[in-house]
Amino acid sequence: GSAVLSWTAAINNGSPITGYTVTGAPGGSCTAVAPATTCTTGPLTNGTAYTFTVTAGNAGGTSPASLASAPITPAGPPLAPTGVTATPGNAAAAVSWSAPANNGSAITGYTVTGIPAGGGASVGCLTTGALACTVSGLTNGTAYAFTVTATNAVGTSGASASASATPFVLSQPAVPLPGGAGTAAVQIGAPPGCTAGSMLFNTTIPPGAPAGATFPLGVFRFTATGAGCANATLSVQITYPAGSLSGLQPYKYGPPSTGAAPLWFAHGSLAADSVTYAVTDNGVGDNDTTLAEIADPFAPVLLAAAPAGVASIPTLSEWGVMLLSLLVGALGLGRVGRRRRSAVA
């Protein structure tokens, strides 16, 4: 909002110089009493280019104006960002905002700061111009207040108004199991902007299940949608009634790798009465090929065991097959030789 001007003293032409006057275009002026050769002009508009001329005065009058200065553009730190929002997710929050006036100098970056309720270490993220970033490593269930500052070549703005968010894991403590087998507790961890819903167990089995497999606890399904789901990996934990997972194995229906055809494949891990697994949008386990939409069948499967007392049929390795072939060939040659010797006799 101002400019400091300086110049070389004029030749007085026989009468002492009494002062100087600075005139700016498109505005701004200041004066200096001789022998000073500097003054500060303002108020100026940040972001507007100005040029300045100087005249000298003495008892004989006022000099012609000097040549104009090179243009200068006054600037200050940016104003504070506005419109801050915070969207919570699993151990994270997505923060976005609107760009403020740059106050005459281009904004070079933004800093997001989150303060947990009740005190504690601050968290945050940085951008070099983007108007959003995700703060991760948060504690689920703890409220955070987020503010944003903007920075340019001159300095850093004040903090924006705050926006609050509380990270969380979607939890359904009692989802009914089919056939009156009780209920299961389900937790789904999704990133900000990805909403999971439609959680249920049923007895509709996708095709291609392992031969002889049964599904005593049904098939679990959920869907997830929202921009935050795009290419995201969701974590799922299901806790079944005590002892109900004994002898079962975690299986999933869907593509076992990105772009693969859906099928049943072993997936997830068991710990006591809980199963934990992950599903990735348009990747492992996702049965909806639309970006940012996830569909997820999963089940603990009881695989059929071999009947008691029935031994499995042994098989030969590749080397075993080769050795057997050589042995059969040798026996054949031996028989031919004996027949020839009998014929000669």
**pLDDT score, position 278:** 96
Q: How far apart are the first and last CA of the chain?
A: 126
Per-residue confidence at 266, pLDDT binned at 50, 70, 90?
very high
Candidates 61, 75, 146, 72; CA nearest to 107 is 75
- Given a cut of 70, whether residue 96 has pLDDT beyond it is yes
- List, for residues 25-36, the tens digit of each pLDDT value: 999 999 999 999
Beta bridge partners of 6: 38
- Looking at this protein, which amino acid is placed at residue 162? S
| pLDDT at 304 > cutoff 90 | no
| Coil, strand or helix at 61 | strand
3-state SS, residue 330: helix
User: CA-CA distance, 99 to 160, in Å (whole number)?
Assistant: 11
What single DSSP character describes residue 205? P
Phi, psi (rounded to 5 degrees) for 343? -65, -40
Q: What is the pLDDT of residue 42?
A: 86
* b/e sequence 43-68, b meaning 16+ C-beta within 10 Å: ebebeeebebbbbbbbeeeebeebee
Separation CA 63–CA 57 (nearest Å): 6
Q: What does R_g of the chain's alpha carbons equal in angstroms?
A: 39
Confidence of residue 300 (pLDDT cuts 50, 70, 90): confident
* pLDDT value at residue 212: 87
Q: Report whether 304 contacts 212 (CB < 8 A).
A: yes
SS3 332: helix
- Residues in the chain, how many? 345
- Give this prediction's pTM: 0.77
pLDDT band at 198, cuts 50/70/90?
A: confident
Q: Give the mean model confidence (pLDDT) for residues 155-169.
A: 98
Rounded Cα gap, residues 223 and 301, in angstroms = 21
How far, rounded to the nearest angstrom, does the alpha carbon of residue 325 sit from its chain's CA centroid? 59
Which pLDDT value is given to residue 303?
76
CA–CA distance, 252 with 269 (Å, rounded to integer): 11
pLDDT band for position 305 (50/70/90)? low
